[in-house]
Amino acid sequence: MKIVLASGSPRRKEILTEFGYAFSVEKSNFVERDDQADARFVALKNAEGKANDVFLRLSGSGKAGNFAVVGADTVVFLDGVILGKPKDRFDAVRILKMLSGKTHTVVTGYCVLSANIRVVGIDETIVCFNELPDETIGEYIDRCKPFDKAGSYGIQDGFPLVNYVKGSLYNVIGFPIEKIKPVLDGLLK
């Protein structure tokens, strides 16, 4: 069984590598939803859409082999509002100011898809931010350039943004390995 990651995310690649999986990457062409529907629904549908896109492309390409495609999508939301990836520096500042001193939720939808199985689910983590002075926000954006990150931040970046996390740290990074690992291990037996 070959594992195919339907994502170009360096963080997802790092987590799969950290846990010892051999895999290939096929970036999905699925257009993510980012409307203001329920964050759980958006994350799950995006993960399924990414996995389906890559699975159908590989299945129709005549590539031989037994494979499983893993898709994931992470959504940050605060008070029912989805905070997507920032459009630019000003948007990143706006989002980080919204999160400053508040508790928000990070949801990652995931989908593992092969010829024989389809496993979908979500993981949720509560994240409480420290109060962020403008200088910290500016320095963080300048140094870490969080423009490809939901909610305008990467918890793994080493800045004093977060007060506490309740739930999976891997989920906040963008790949709830605790939920996905048992599925992949079962497929690889």
Confidence (pLDDT) at 52: 96
Over the stretch 84-123, which tens digit does the pLDDT of each residue have?
Answer: 899 999 999 999 999 999 999 999 999 999 988 999 999 9
User: Annotated catalytic sites, by residue?
Assistant: 73
User: Which amino acid appears at position 69 of this protein?
Assistant: V
Task: Give the model's pLDDT for residue 189.
Answer: 84
Q: Residue 62: what pLDDT?
A: 60
* 57, two tokens: 């492309």
Looking at residue 64, what is its pLDDT?
46
- Of the candidates 85, 82, 87, 89, the one whose C-alpha atom is nearest the C-alpha of residue 104 is 82
User: How far is 73 from 171, CA to CA, in rounded Å?
Assistant: 10
Position 33 scores a pLDDT of: 78
β partners of residue 2: 67
Assigned CATH for 2-188: 3.90.950.10
pLDDT reading at 30 higher than 70: yes
Q: What is residue 24's predicted lDDT score, i.e. its pLDDT?
A: 96
Q: Using alpha carbons, list the distances in angstroms from residue 72 to 12, 60, 187.
A: 9, 22, 18
pLDDT for 168: 97
Residue 37: the pLDDT is 75
Tell me which residue of 76, 92, 96 sits closest to 84, measured CA to CA.
Answer: 76
One-letter amino acid for residue 20 of the chain? G
3-state secondary structure of 90: helix
pTM value?
Answer: 0.91
Distance CA(93)–CA(22), nearest Å, equals: 37
Q: What angle is formed at CA 144 by the lines to CA 111 and CA 128, rounded to 5 degrees?
A: 65
The rounded mean pLDDT for the chain is 93
Tokens of 155: 């918890």
Q: Which residues contact 60 (CB under 8 A, 6 or more apart)?
A: none
Q: Domain limits of the chain?
A: 2-188
- Taking the CA atoms of 32, 17, 40 and 182 in sequence, report the sign of the dihedral they define: positive
Whether the per-residue pLDDT at 140 is higher than 90: the answer is yes
What is the amino acid identity at position 90?
F
Model confidence band, residue 1 (pLDDT cutoffs 50, 70, 90): confident
